[in-house]
Structures are given as structure tokens and as C-alpha cells.
Structure 1
Amino acid sequence: MTTDPRSYLYRPDGLDPDSAKRLTAEALQRCDDGELFLQYSATESFGFDDGRLKTADYSTESGFGLRGVSGETTAFAHANELSEAAIRRAAETMTLLDPAKGAPAPPPRGNNRHLYTADNPLGLVSFADKVALCESIDAMARARDPRVAQVSVSLSGSWSVVDIVRPDGFTAMDVRPLVRLNVSIVTELNGRRETGSFGVGGRYLYDRLLDPALIDRAIDEALKQALVNLDSVPAPAGEMQVLLGPGWPGVLLHEAIGHGLEGDFNRKGTSAFSGRIGERVGAPGVTVIDDGSIGERRGSLSIDDEGTPTQENILIEDGILKGYIHDRLNARLMGVEPTGNGRRQSYAHAPMPRMTNTFMKGGNDDPAELLSRMKSGIFAKSFGGGQVDIVSGKFVFSCTEAYRVENGRLGAPIKGATLIGDGPTVLTKVLGIGNDFALDEGVGMCGKAGQSVPAGVGQPTLLIEGLTVGGTAA
């Protein structure tokens, strides 16, 4: 017998749905907009390192966030208690708002689409089987190559039930699974150690991660990267052509361009893209999309955290800036429709405009032909961390796997390469767009204003005229 997900939020001895509607209507009667966001979440993680299970965590949490909006001002209160008394206490914060002068904002449009299963991944595979998966990956990786010195495996999952209750009576529920597997391998040769890693995940169940073919690929990819880095030489420095690989390197696009297209920065005029809709901001052929409606993707949501259905949002089309991504507040203040990008880390956070799955569409160029065009530069196949300044668009990214390119051919792998540039400029320097578009494997996390949410990225192979490469070569 399947348990009704609503039972994790509403109980006879706690809060019931009718009371939640009534209390929300009372608390937000003087507001333009707002909602009661109820959430239950269960999370677990396993860390397998040095041939044994090092960590195993499990936790559950429930609570609510009550938000009222009047004009540009937001009042927000939250508690880890689902009760009428706690909501009434939170409602006292709403009285600090000036009464709204305009008509209340209309509710989101209804949505019955479900982009992922409502099943809870955590209880469908036993604790012993999850540990056995980590053990088998460790053993298989060590058996692959005598140069393997260390193997780390992490497995994590979560299941979240949310209900959004508005003062106008609108309600929307979503049940969200999420799983992830990461494999990291350290290889050693002649006293030198290098690391390679691979991760995969999405809004589905653990059985997908138990697929032997996927496990083999995870080990092979992590090992290959670690072995390549054993042969790496110091990276060159200077401005040069850069070829970016497909898939995960789209994280550069996410950081360098995506954050600058979020509505709050543009409403306040602090983004490098502020006030530029209709202008050319990229080379012909550059089309950038944010789409939270792709089934089972890590960054996808059936509805955002304000109840708005997610959708495909064309941000840049053929190099022309078409629009931004919005939550309800920024959309209303900018006179446009919400785009399904109001996201929050949990019930304890107010929503803000956030990316979902952000990617550049593929083009018509053969990736091998793009490589052959390069006289001298680097090929960046995979990235580690990066950071961006929203106002200027300047970014810095470290490469975890990269190669020299000389006369159209891949040369030696390089170590210590960082890519430095700015988002608005990098889009104008795109010389070629590959026909090999790919989304990432499903491991991305996006940080903004102290909140972290799952996100997806993607792109085809891209040839860029000039980026500054910060290297380690003398």
C-alpha cells in the first residue's frame, strides 16, 4: 500500500489542508503576493574511502516558510514545525509590511505534468546493497590498473515533498526524488599522484545507478582522467584559442552568462546584461536556453518553488538577447510573465530567480574540423570549480582535464590551466559550434546568495577565439 505523500505534511494531530489555506489567506490578506511553502525531506549519503565505509548519514526534516510580498518588499518567516500555532507566529512578521497598493498578483497556471517518479528512492534499495555497490566499485577500480592508489565513492539520495499554498486558494504539490553517484580515483607513478573523477545522477531511483554498464563507465572515465593527468605537463599561459568539450564544460556558460541573465540582477541594473534585450550579445549561431521541463534531469522541476510550471526559456537566440529568467516578484516588477525559475534551497529560504538546466544549443560544425582549425591553443575537456563577478561578468575556471593543441592536433595533457575571461565578451568570440550537443551527467550544484540548488548544464564542442589561460609553465 502506497503512503500518500501529503501525510508527511498534514496530520490529524498537526496541520490539515483546510487550516493551511485559511491561515495563509489571513496572514497574507494585505500582500501583493506570497505563499506558504510546506516541505518534508529525507536525505542520505554514503562515503566509501580507503577500502571501507567511512560515513553513512540519514536525516529527515520538515517545516514551512511563510512569505509575504508588498511592492518590492518581502517579509519571510520559517519554522521546523508544521502546526497552526507556528504559522500564526510566523504571520506576525507579515504585519510589518506596508499594505499593498495594487491588486493581488494572479495565481500560477495549473499544471498536472510530472517530470519524474514520486517514489522514494531511499527505501527501495537496502542499506546493505548500497554499501555493497560502493565496495564493488572500489574493488573493480583497484583491479583495473596497478597504478590505482586510492578510490573514493560517494552515493547520495533525497526525497522531498512540497506543498505550496497561496492566499487566493491555489495549491500545488510536488514530490521530488534525487540520486547521485561519484567516483574519484587517485593514480600514482614514480611518486607522482593525480586524480580523476566521474559523477552521474538525476531525478530517478537508485536502480539506474546499479546498472553494470554505468558502473563500468564511471570507473573507466575516472581512471582515464587520472592516468591522463599522470602524463600532464605544466600549462602554458597567455591569450589563446580554446576548444571546449561538450556536456559538463557548459558549467562555464552557466557561471559566466547564466547568472547574469537572472531577473533580480537585471531589474536592479547590476548585471552586465542589464537593459540589453534585443541587442547582439553573442556570435551568430549562439542560442542559450534555460529549461526546467526536461524529464528526470537533475535541474528539472515539475513546478518551481512558487508553483509556476517550468518551461523552455530562450534567453539568447542566434546571438540576440531575448529575455531573462524570473521568479514571480521580479517578473511582476518588470512587467513580464514568470518563467518557472523561482527556486529555494529549502523551506527555510525565500525564493529567488535561479537557473534550472542551462545550455547552449548545438550547431552544424564537425568537432574534429573545429580542432583542425586551431594552430595553437588548448582543448579543455573537463572543468572543476569556477567563480564569476555578476556585475562585470568576469570569470575564472580551473580545468581538470585539458590538452595542448598544435597545428590542429591534440598534444600533451596539461596541468594547472585556468580559463579567465568575461561572459559578455566570450559569447562574441565563438568561432565554431559543434553538432555534438550534450547535457552533463547530472552532478551540478549552483550557489547564489548562500543558497545551493541542483542544476544542469550542457553545450556542444565550442571553438572560442581567445581566452586568457592562466598556466603554470615558466
Structure 2
Amino acid sequence: MSSTEFKPFDHDFDRDAALAILREATAGADDGELFIERAHAESLVYDDRRLRGSSYTASQGFGLRAVAGEVTGYAHSTELTLPTLRRAAETARLAVGNGGRTLALPPEGKVTPLYMAEDPAQGIDIATRIDLLREIDAYARGLDPRVVQATVSLSTSLQQVAILRPEGGLVTDIRPMARLNVAVIVEDNARRETGGTGGGGRIPLAGMMNPAHWKPLVDESLRIALVNLRAQPAPAGVMDVVLGPGWPGILLHEAVGHGLEGDFNRKGHSAFAGLMGQRVAAPGVTVIDDGTIPDRRGSISVDDEGTPPARNVLIEDGILVGYLQDRQNARLMGVAPTGNGRRESYAHAPMPRMTNTFMLGGDASPDAILSDLKDGIYAVGFGGGQVDITNGKFVFSCTEAYRVKNGVVGDPIRGATLIGDGATALQQIRAIGNDMSLDPGMGTCGKQGQWVPVGVGLPSLLIGGLTVGGSAAG
């Protein structure tokens, strides 16, 4: 699967015959497509000085969709054969009913490749990869005698997709992915703490195997673990919070980004529904979703409906100016698709999803932002979180945070959670740093049971009046 060309059709699965079946399934419909996929993924986990897990998965299949209004007919199979496709078409056709609709115009725009079109692990055998994990483990243990455990994971995948549309258009995309994660556990005086980091993107594995790439990851993981080893219980109460740049953008993604997806707004389920053109954030706040950044984890050369991605401005200087749209929701809302129709695999219908979502930087220096924090916390790392899309309320746990008083960054704290709602938090942004950065390539987003790779980004931010959950008096 290292070829730079994806050929989804062969003599047993003829393109012309498949197109005829697709046209029958979508006759009188608003929209539809045939999505074909071949994919494989490999992963290795090195833990406790030994290889603890290895896996290889391969899959192929198709999904056929017919759309009429708000109704979607979808059928999928692992068999790439014409008889199976005909049976799928009969199922999807049920959604169209008596038809009478006019097929939507095909996607516009040119497909521009944003990443290499080959297997990221091409030419690197399993033994070499295991040797790398062993070397990383040894390096981590040699950095500090307090390191009692190291876990290293390496994963690669290649997804090849083709989208055939009823008018006859065919687009393909070959999507590589590589990722390296490192976590360490340190122990001192019977207390254990952990630290971890990692990342990757649609890039070759070879570059990630360079010590200049992985040694900083190990160093950072150890730094976080040692910080947590001396952390004090987090305070509790309502206080101002400074978010660090980069990965803390996961809070923006969850608490705000999902609320700007078209389906939630069309149905009136989002806290941002009906607010187009109104102020939803403090002045200076501009939020963008951009699927066109080369080699990024969240980028796509074409979305899963055949629409090229775009740099979509969602909030501009505090004003809501756009939602993220797939073709179905865009048509129902009377707007243009934004190239955000995404799906986990051939077994799933597309829906509006984020790609790389971030806030643009401002003009404040990070040091000045912290010096203005009189009594609060500085949160630079986040773990898991929960968000209610209907009201934007969120709860996020901090993996690295510090107490700040009178502009001085003090002791690290543990057990801190940030509680609030996205709409209010946007309005309470008091300072925006000039240090916007994207995350190192760690994000995976879940929605309605589907998981897709994403990117996040953020400058340093000062947000007033968030609730901090902790165990100590504030």
C-alpha cells in the first residue's frame, strides 16, 4: 500500500457499472455518493522494558449514501463487488422515497495534495522500530534515577479513499499518519507521578526516529512528571485562569468548536444557534478552522464528500460569522459547504467535523499576561474533559498547572479541574497572547460514536471567573 496512486476499481468492481448503480440509488435525491476505502494500521507498545503489545489491522469496504432532505439512507459492506453494491443501493434508496428532488451541484474547487501519498513506515521494518522503542526506554531511565517506568508507543496508518459522485466525478486521497508517544512514571519518598507527551502528523516515520525529534519528547515527559512530583493540592473556587499556548486549545475545540458545527446549529441544539452576526466573544477573539495546513494531523486534502477543505473563519473579532458545514446541513441551511464533511471510515455516514481549530494570537506578551494575574492559576497541560453541546458547559482536568499570586508563578498544583461554559468563557477573555501555537499532533475527536484525527491551537489567554475544582481552600 505504498503506491502514490489509489485504484479503487478493477474488473470485478467496474467504475461504469458502479456509477450506474449509484445513479439509480440517488435518482430523485438531493445528494449522495459512493465512498470506497482501503486502510491499514500498525502499532507497537514498549512497556516495563519489553514489547507489551503489537497490532496490525487492515480493512476495506464501501459506503453508499442517498440523501433526501433531512433523511439519509446509508449502507456499507466489506465486499467490493457489484452484487453487494446493488443490495446496498436498494437499502439506501429507501430514504429517497418517491424522489422528485433535484440533485445538488457537485463539490467545487481543486483538490490540492497536502501531504505525502505513501505509507509513513515504508522501508522501516518491525525490528528497527522495536530497537527504537528500546533505545527511547533506556534513554528515559537513564535521565533520572527516580524514573521507575517508561511507556513508549509508535503507530502508523495509511488510509486510501475514493469518492464517486452521481454526476461521474471521482476524487481520491491517500492519507498517511504517524505518531510517537512517551510517558514516564517517577517515584520519590513513596509518591509516584506521571508525565507524558507525544505527537506526529501526516509525515514520514523516518523523521520521528531521529534522536533530535524523540529526545525532547522524553525530556519533556520527565519534566512534567517531576513537576507533578512536587505539586500541591489545587485550590477551589472562582478565580482567573491563564491558559498556556498550544495543546490547551483542546478546551477551545471542545467547549466552542463543537458548538459551531452546522448540524447542532441547524437543529437548534447548540448554545450558538441563532446568533450569526452577533457578538459571542470578547473583542480580539478570532477562531478559525483550517484543514489546509500541510502535514498536520487534522488536515485533509479533500473531505469525505469530495469537497476541498478551506480556512474557515468562525468567529471574527468576537462576532460569529460562520459554522462548519457538510453538504447536507449546508443545503438545509442555505449556505455553502465548508469542506468539513468527515467520517471515521466507510462504515459511517459523514457529518460536520472540525479539522485544525485554533484562535489567532493577539498582541500581549505571555509574561505580561501572567504578571497581570493577581490570584489564580496557570494551566499549561490538559487531560480529559466533558462538554454538554446544548449549553457549552465543560469540565476539564489539568495535567500541569501552577498557582499564581500577584503575578508570580508559584508551586505546581495537582487535581485541578476547570469548570465553566464556552459561551461565557469567550466573553470573559481579558488578554490574548502573541504566542499562538498548534499542538504537537495529538488530537482525536469523538462525535456520535465516530473518531477522526484533529488539531488544536491557542495563544496564551487570560480568562476571568472560571470555577476551579480542587481540594484545598483558595
By how many angstroms is 1:94 displaced?
A: 2.5
* SS, match of residue 140 in structure 1: helix
What is residue 119 of structure 2 aligned with on the other side? 120
By how many angstroms is 1:142 displaced?
A: 0.2
Given that 1:71 and 1:100 are in contact with CA atoms closer than 8 Å, whether structure 2 keeps it comes out as no
Given that 2:29 and 2:101 are in contact with CA atoms closer than 8 Å, whether structure 1 keeps it comes out as no
Q: In the aligned structure 1, how far is the partner of 2:49 from the partner of 2:153?
A: 12
Pairs aligned (count)? 472
After superposition, the C-alpha distances for 1:42-66 in whole angstroms (9 at most, x for unaligned) are 1011011000111110111000000
By how many angstroms is 1:110 displaced?
A: 3.9
Deviates more, 1:93-102 or 1:106-115: 93-102
**Uncovered stretches (5+) of structure 1, i.e. residues with no partner:** none
What is residue 161 of structure 1 aligned with on the other side? 160
By how many angstroms is 1:2 displaced?
A: 7.0
* SS, match of residue 129 in structure 1: helix
Q: In the aligned structure 1, how far is the partner of 2:121 from the partner of 2:10?
A: 22
What is residue 146 of structure 2 aligned with on the other side? 147
Equivalences for residues 214-233 of structure 1 within 5 A: 214-233=213-232
* SS, match of residue 145 in structure 2: coil
Letter of the aligned partner of 1:92 in structure 2? Answer: E
Equivalences for residues 128-207 of structure 1 within 5 A: 128-207=127-206
Given that 2:67 and 2:73 are in contact with CA atoms closer than 8 Å, whether structure 1 keeps it comes out as yes
Deviates more, 1:125-134 or 1:419-428: 125-134
Change (3 A) 1:244 1:6: same
Q: In the aligned structure 1, how far is the partner of 2:357 from the partner of 2:415?
A: 27
Equivalences for residues 75-474 of structure 1 within 5 A: 75-97=73-95, 98-473=97-472
What is residue 30 of structure 1 aligned with on the other side? 28
Change (3 A) 1:360 1:2: closer
After superposition, the C-alpha distances for 1:215-244 in whole angstroms (9 at most, x for unaligned) are 111001100000000000000000001000
Root-mean-square deviation (CA, aligned residues, Å) is 1.2
Q: Pick the aligned partner of 1:54 from 42, 52, 55.
A: 52
Given that 1:31 and 1:99 are in contact with CA atoms closer than 8 Å, whether structure 2 keeps it comes out as no
* SS, match of residue 472 in structure 2: coil
> Normalised by the size of structure 1, how large is the TM-score?
0.98
By how many angstroms is 1:160 displaced?
A: 0.8
Q: In the aligned structure 1, how far is the partner of 2:2 from the partner of 2:44?
A: 26
After superposition, the C-alpha distances for 1:371-396 in whole angstroms (9 at most, x for unaligned) are 00011100001000111000011000
Q: Pick the aligned partner of 1:67 from 65, 84, 87.
A: 65
Q: In the aligned structure 1, how far is the partner of 2:18 from the partner of 2:47?
A: 45
Q: In the aligned structure 2, how far is the partner of 1:137 from the partner of 1:39?
A: 34
Q: In the aligned structure 2, how far is the partner of 1:86 from the partner of 1:239?
A: 59
4+ runs of 1 displaced by more than 4 Å? none
Q: Percent identity?
A: 58
After superposition, the C-alpha distances for 1:346-378 in whole angstroms (9 at most, x for unaligned) are 000000000000000000001000000011100
Letter of the aligned partner of 1:20 in structure 2? Answer: A
* SS, match of residue 6 in structure 2: helix
By how many angstroms is 1:200 displaced?
A: 1.2
Given that 1:121 and 1:205 are in contact with CA atoms closer than 8 Å, whether structure 2 keeps it comes out as yes
After superposition, the C-alpha distances for 1:62-111 in whole angstroms (9 at most, x for unaligned) are 00000000111100000011110110010111231223443210000142
Q: In the aligned structure 2, how far is the partner of 1:126 from the partner of 1:23?
A: 42
* SS, match of residue 66 in structure 1: strand
What is residue 6 of structure 2 aligned with on the other side? 6
Q: In the aligned structure 2, how far is the partner of 1:252 from the partner of 1:453?
A: 17
Given that 1:70 and 1:99 are in contact with CA atoms closer than 8 Å, whether structure 2 keeps it comes out as no
**Uncovered stretches (5+) of structure 2, i.e. residues with no partner:** none
By how many angstroms is 1:18 displaced?
A: 2.4
> Normalised by the size of structure 2, how large is the TM-score?
0.98
